[in-house]
């Protein structure tokens, strides 16, 4: 059974940093691209970042570019999101998800339960 | 990376059919047959319902179907049931492994 479990969320002051983790199990982690998607309280979903299985390809949404860094450790079946220079508008539940597609990685077939990040003074 | 457009809410009676639209541009919805739809219940993670415009993952009811015309994709729920009440989000591939979501549509079963 595919499982994705996020951790590392919490409260942080504006300008601070936080590192999220996503532990994967039930599939060959290194063979799949992964992504982070966030959801501000009471708001919709927002794509944040993508990483290919080999970490050779990485993309970010404009809203987090230069502040967030996505990475993975295939030996540990883990995905990470290093978040620096955090702002109040980064407050959200952060989900990791597996990316799938036949020709391109175009949809997210499994999601974790999410971890809440609160940025506030 | 502008968001897609969806109606804020759609409602229907049990057994009826409803359709949720998702409008983008030629750079996203219109440019790729790579629109997916997600169902989200309160406090829960999103669940994949449709991918590549009209494909259904195994385990998803065939009451859910997807289509696309030009820059607008649609999700149709046939034979509406109480358990279908949830938020629904469309998502489009926008090239180079980037993606954009719609704002979500709240489906209410009357």
The 10s digit of each residue's pLDDT in B43-63 is 999 999 999 999 999 999 999
Q: Does A6 touch chain B (CB under 8 A)?
A: no
Give yes or no for residue B1 having a pLDDT over 60.
no
Instruction: Report the length, in residues, of chain A.
Output: 121
In whole angstroms, what is the distance from residue B108 CA to residue B110 CA? Answer: 6
What's the rounded mean pLDDT across residues B87-110?
A: 94
* pLDDT for the residue numbered B55: 96
- Using an 8 Å CB-CB cutoff, list chain B residues near A2: none
Q: Do A113 and B38 touch (CB under 8 A)?
A: no
Size of interface A-B (CB pairs under 8 A): 74
Give the pLDDT mean for A22-43. Answer: 97
pLDDT digits (tens, 9 = 90+) for B62-78: 999 999 999 999 999 99
Residue that has been written with the tokens 């994709």 in this structure: B73
Phi, psi of B19 (to 5 degrees): -130, 135
pLDDT in tens, B13-41: 999 999 999 999 999 999 999 999 999 99
Summarised one tens digit per residue, pLDDT across range A53-97 is: 999 999 999 999 999 999 999 999 999 999 999 999 999 999 999
């Amino acid at each position: 059974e595919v499982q994705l479990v996020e951790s590392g969320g919490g409260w942080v002051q504006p300008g601070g940093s936080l590192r999220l983790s996503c532990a994967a199990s039930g599939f060959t982690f290194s063979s799949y691209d992964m992504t982070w998607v966030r959801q501000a309280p009471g708001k919709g979903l927002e794509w944040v970042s993508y990483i290919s299985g080999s970490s050779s390809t990485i993309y970010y949404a404009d809203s987090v570019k230069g502040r967030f860094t996505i990475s993975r450790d295939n030996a540990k079946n883990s995905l990470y999101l290093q978040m620096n220079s955090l702002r109040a508008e980064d407050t959200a539940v952060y989900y990791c998800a597996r990316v799938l597609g036949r020709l391109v990685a175009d949809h997210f077939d499994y999601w974790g339960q999410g971890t809440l990040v609160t940025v506030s003074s | 990376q502008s968001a897609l457009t969806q109606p804020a809410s759609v409602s229907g009676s049990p057994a009826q059919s409803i359709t949720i639209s998702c409008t983008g541009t030629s750079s996203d919805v219109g440019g790729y047959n790579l629109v997916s739809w997600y169902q989200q219940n309160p406090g829960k993670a999103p669940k994949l319902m449709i991918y590549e415009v009209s494909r259904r993952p195994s385990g998803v009811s065939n009451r859910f179907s997807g289509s696309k015309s030009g820059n607008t994709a649609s999700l149709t729920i046939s034979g509406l049931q109480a358990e279908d009440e949830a938020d629904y989000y469309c998502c489009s591939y926008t090239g180079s492994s980037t993606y954009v979501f719609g704002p979500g549509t709240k489906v209410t079963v009357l």
